[in-house]
Amino acid sequence: MSKELELRYFEVILSNGQVSKTSVPVTVRNSEVYAQLVNASILSEERKGPGKVIRLVDQEAFVKFLDARFPGRKSATGGTAISNQYRYRDSKGGAKSGHGLVILRGWKTIRVNGHRVDLGEATERFGGFACFQPIIETERFCTVENLSCLAGIPARLDVSSDGEAVLDREQVYAHAYGRIGKQTFSELRCPEITHFGDWDYTGLDEYLRLQAIYPQTKLYVPEKLEDYWSTRSKPLKKEAVITRRLQESQDPKVLRVLNLLGRTNRFLEQEAIFSTNSPGQ
């Protein structure tokens, strides 16, 4: 088990005060560290309704434990081997994030770091245009969560399987290596920004992170979301966790998706809204 995974769920417990036991991966719950926290009455497992919850009993002791086990957790940003060693005392302690590596695809001529870029030519000749923590200037900008979807632009991802317009040639599409955060873009000078991702806790949280930086960001949700959900959704992974940011959101589209996630315990991948037979062709 990676220390990044361990820290992620311990910080969820610290943030929320209690979480359902099943929302914490078995690898974390079966660890010696977790057992020590329970035995020391820092955490407790308590029955609530049909299941159990993990409750934070001694917050002060828990914070001291986190600071000792994960030095620099508040100041170091996980992602590189160096920062992982500082944060987790382990160079392989967490997945490496891109820290701003962005792949662009599209048909427009845009400006990247003040320079004119013929993105259509770059997409046609080389498959895309890569840049690092860019300043991007364009009218319409769309972040695409999954690389497999980005790779299909422009060849096939024009409309959904039911003909609903999703991706068009007037937008610039971007996939960030790693999760989107403050380090991804130096600046987006784009009047219109859309986030097109999976409809799960991770995809929704990524949207809210981007919107917190760029308030003009909108979440793409297909009109027939419930229909897709009933036929193409998949079971949520056991480690799926709803963040406090999601719990506090009043965004109507976020609430619509959260309602489906909560009722069905299933999620929908962004690829699911496209037919397997190259829609739009």
pLDDT by residue (tens digit) across 161-210? 454 556 778 899 999 987 787 789 999 999 999 999 999 999 999 999 99
Asked whether 70 and 88 are in contact (CB, 8 A), the reply is yes
pLDDT by residue (tens digit) across 133-173? 999 999 999 999 988 888 776 544 444 445 455 677 889 99
CATH 1.20.1440 for domain 3-88 = no
Separation of alpha carbons 210 and 102, rounded Å: 14
Separation of alpha carbons 135 and 43, rounded Å: 45
> Which positions ≥6 away from 143 have C-beta within 8 Å?
173, 174, 175, 176, 180, 193, 194, 195, 196, 197, 210
Which residues in the chain come in under a pLDDT of 70? 1-2, 72-99, 153-166, 239, 275-281
Closest residue by Cα to residue 78 from 186, 183, 221, 209: 183
Residue 221 confidence (pLDDT): 93
Task: Give the CATH number of domain 101-273; options: 1.10.10.10, 3.40.50.620, 3.40.1360.10, 3.90.1150.10.
Answer: 3.40.1360.10
Residue 63 confidence (pLDDT): 87
Separation of alpha carbons 102 and 185, rounded Å: 8
Asked whether 216 and 192 are in contact (CB, 8 A), the reply is yes
SS3 26: helix
Residue 153 confidence (pLDDT): 65
- Read off the DSSP letter of residue 271: G
Asked whether 236 and 23 are in contact (CB, 8 A), the reply is no
Q: Both tokens of residue 61?
A: 């002791």
Alpha-carbon distances of 182 from 81, 82, 178, rounded to whole Å: 19, 19, 12
Residue 266 confidence (pLDDT): 94
Residue 273 confidence (pLDDT): 82
Domain parsing of the chain, residue ranges: 3-88, 101-273
Give burial (CB, 10 Å; 0-12/13-18/19+) of 125.
exposed
Residue 132 confidence (pLDDT): 92
SS3 83: helix
